[in-house]
Chains A and B, each alone.
Chain A
Amino acid sequence: MECIITIELGTNAVRVYAFDLNGNIIGSLKGYCPTFHSEPDYSEQDPDQIFITMLYVLKNLLNEVLHPKKYKVLCICFSSSMHSVLAVDKRGNPMGKAITWADNRANKEAAKLKNSTLGKKIYSATGTPLHPMSPLTKIAWIKNNEKEKFKQVSKFLSLKAYILQQLTGEYVIDYSIASATGLLNIHKIKWEPESLKFAGITAAMLPDLVPVDTKVGKLNKAYQASLGLSADTKILVGSSDGCMAVLGDGVNGEGVATITVEDSGAVRVVSDKVMQDDKQRFFNYLLTENKYISGGPTNNGGVIFEWFTRQFGDFKNPFDLEHTMLELINDASKVPAGSDGLIFLPYLLGERAPIWNPNARGVFFGINIKHEKSHFVRSAIEGILYEIYSIGKTLEEHRTINSLSINGSFGTLPFFTQMVADIYNKPVRLRQNYQSVSYGSYLLSATEMGIYKSLDEAAKTVVLPDLATPDKQNNKMYLKYFKIFERLSTKLASEFADIAALQHQ
């Protein structure tokens, strides 16, 4: 029997799935990797720990599930979070830890660039919002703040590029990950000279640019032996988690948007055209040469509801977050849509799309004497999803969205899914059981292997079985409150700036 392995290098964990050739899951395992915060603005991961964790989890899955059942692994396909930066020396050894998407050290570099003419030019060439998440601004930060280190850097890699280099000896970066660096001209699919100049590097300091279905060399002999894999196992470079989630949900043309709600979240659409936005509110990432995934990210997804649960939930057993969360959701379901006029702005972590305001903060608005704890719970969830809606609504200035698909650990909670349908007033499709990101990697692998003729055909085969249909009554209620939510989000800008300044003291 033959199988395909997908490896997802996420911010908190490495997830390994095995699929049979028809796309059924044979097994899956995960391994946690910590994010380190040595300074308040810093967010780093240890590349070697990710590598070891990946090997460990992969080996366990092989030894526990695949080898005993005599599966032959035809292909291993990678995906990873976007925007990571890892400096390596001339031997390819990491110079410190990798900087993740959540790192804000390049705040100044990003703010300065955003307000300049060069910034506008770079945004329209690269499609990546000018923000400290972008590797462009992170490399510029290293150039400006760690001059000695910068001189010694041989290459700037993404975490995935490092892992692939460890496994195969090759330096490659796929179009998707590259298009999220702020360094790639997404129209020409070449490194953008203006970006390179701003970052102070040359194209030779970046990995080789390759399409997402590229086979990367061969697995090193030692790993073939330790994992029990044959030399002809294909290693596919793969894509980013965001792009894979869209593919995995089968979203492939206009009219459909994909919503992801994990800790953070995003709303994405697919098109063969770049979405040019004068206000620089959206990203445009490449899945393939002519397929752009455009959309907006939010910092404040499920992580905010988790925070709420930890503060206000009733923990019957130590660390039983899941159960406590479900009890709160149960409370929330007893309150009518709109939480009787209690509105929550979820910006505890500042916000990206659509307001792009790092100083934004959380707000409960409209509290009256009749509000109870359950109103606060419901409005917390509504606030998180209003934010998701505000991204979708801005996307609709550029694209028509008739229906939605949803994924992610929070998005697929029935209460969340139904609320998304009601707020958007659109039907929402979802898939339980497994992650869209991994399924996207399966589809990409299967297409490369010729099981599907094209990614289009592969995407068309995706059936999302469950459907939430919108409740018109609730929608009317939500929209009334959303208008206030939207106004508050921008109206409070100067107060957000003041309070953030005080909090930074």
Chain B
Amino acid sequence: MNQFVLCHNTASELRLFPHIIEIGVIKNPAIRLNGFPCEIDRCLKLYYIQEGKFEWCINDRSYTLFPGDVALILPGTEFGNESNVLEIGCFSWIHLQVGKNEKGELENPAWSSLSDTESYAINKILQSDHTPILQKFTDAGVILKGIQTELFKQEIGFQARVNHLIDEIFIQVSRQFTRMSNPGRDFPKTFMKLEQELRQNLSHQWTVEEMAALVGLGTTLFNEKVKSYSGFSPLNYLINIRISEAIKLLKIPNISLTDIALDTGFYSSQHFSTTFKKLTGYTPSEFRKNHIGTN
């Protein structure tokens, strides 16, 4: 593929794709000073190395990238070469406009055909704490090339194809991240990581699909593994954590039962109350009275 750059406000090819801020390929034959500054942007960036060796800085950490490597730069992350140098080699990239909700989570964009649940899980994976580099991930290069071809040829159905391919990148990149962080050997460790994730977002209405995605398993195998390891189905394990956390909150005065219910992921204080009583025999307010007294 030859060099090119398409920018959203100038390129007619991107007219139908307002979410593609920039897409391009560069072949750089000589070191270029003042060619690759460290910058913070609001878009999500994905780089794929084809040739050469690049020293890039992402969020104050430097990484060396080789052919086949992918760098994923989330919105608001500083990225570039520390000395503002563009090194010799060839790479392709895409910059995408992605919205964030008030919690700072990436939103499921309108053009995407991912369901909200899938998109939530993928964004969770992308935003979880891991290295921004995927090594030897040539699939990403192939997909990027596919997007470029579609954009230039504009054959029938290309609008849908481009958007599908962008989804495809997200899907493959997040799968690769989970494979990388869960090599499929240490279930206790993997389960522990999942449990931490659940606790940090207890108010979220987790689905089994989302949980399985975080671990990098299909739901059937995920259900089976969780059941045999924990004795509970994934959703029952979640209720277990919810009630355990609620018990701690009930012992703190001045937090309303409704707040406790919603913070720990129950639909309503009624739902909380029923579940709590079914298990413990006490209503939440009785339980609270027993443990912190009437005062």
A to B contact number (C-beta, < 8 Å): 83
CB of A222 within 8 A of CB of B195, answer no
A93 and B293 alpha carbons, distance in the complex (Å): 12
A289 and B250 alpha carbons, distance in the complex (Å): 41
- Given the known interface contacts A48-B248, A56-B240, A222-B286, the answer about A315 and B184 at a Cβ–Cβ threshold of 8 Å is yes
Q: Please, which residues of chain A bring their CB within 8 A of the CB of B247?
A: 48, 51-52
Quick check: is A504 within 8 A (CB to CB) of the other chain?
A: no
Quick check: is B146 within 8 A (CB to CB) of the other chain?
A: no
Q: Which of B181-214 touch A at CB < 8 Å? A: 182, 184-187, 190-192, 195
CB of B231 within 8 A of CB of A29, answer yes
- Given the known interface contacts A49-B240, A52-B247, A318-B217, the answer about A32 and B184 at a Cβ–Cβ threshold of 8 Å is no
Q: Please, which residues of chain A bring their CB within 8 A of the CB of B244?
A: 46, 48-49, 51-53
Quick check: is B4 within 8 A (CB to CB) of the other chain?
A: no
Quick check: is A310 within 8 A (CB to CB) of the other chain?
A: yes
Quick check: is A34 within 8 A (CB to CB) of the other chain?
A: yes
CB of B192 within 8 A of CB of A34, answer yes
Q: Please, which residues of chain B bring their CB within 8 A of the CB of A57?
A: 231
CB of A34 within 8 A of CB of B195, answer yes
A226 and B278 alpha carbons, distance in the complex (Å): 6
Q: Please, which residues of chain B bring their CB within 8 A of the CB of A451?
A: none
Q: Which of A203-243 touch B at CB < 8 Å? A: 220-227
A29 and B230 alpha carbons, distance in the complex (Å): 10
CB of A222 within 8 A of CB of B185, answer no
Which of A30, A53, A220 touches B240 (beta carbons < 8 Å)? A53
CB of A310 within 8 A of CB of B231, answer no
Which of B221, B232, B291 touches A32 (beta carbons < 8 Å)? B232
CB of A91 within 8 A of CB of B231, answer no
Which of B182, B186, B231, B282 touches A30 (beta carbons < 8 Å)? B231
A313 and B184 alpha carbons, distance in the complex (Å): 12
Q: Please, which residues of chain A bring their CB within 8 A of the CB of B8?
A: none
Quick check: is B279 within 8 A (CB to CB) of the other chain?
A: yes
A210 and B111 alpha carbons, distance in the complex (Å): 68
| Interchain nearest-CB distance for B293 vs A (Å) | 7
CB of A32 within 8 A of CB of B229, answer yes
A57 and B244 alpha carbons, distance in the complex (Å): 14
- Given the known interface contacts A52-B243, A318-B217, the answer about A223 and B280 at a Cβ–Cβ threshold of 8 Å is yes
CB of A32 within 8 A of CB of B186, answer no
Q: Please, which residues of chain B bring their CB within 8 A of the CB of A48?
A: 244, 247-248
| Interchain nearest-CB distance for B225 vs A (Å) | 6
Contact with A along B275-295 (1 / 0, CB 8 A): 001111110001000011100
10 A/B residue pairs, CB under 8 Å, sorted by A: A46-B244, A49-B241, A56-B279, A92-B291, A222-B281, A223-B281, A225-B281, A226-B279, A310-B185, A319-B187
A residues within 8 Å of B by Cβ?
13, 29-32, 34, 46, 48-49, 51-53, 55-57, 59, 91-93, 220-227, 310, 313, 315, 317-319, 321
Given A56-B236, A310-B186, A313-B185, output 14 extra A-B contacts at Cβ < 8 Å: A32-B229, A32-B231, A34-B195, A52-B243, A53-B240, A55-B279, A56-B232, A56-B279, A93-B292, A223-B281, A315-B185, A318-B182, A318-B216, A321-B185
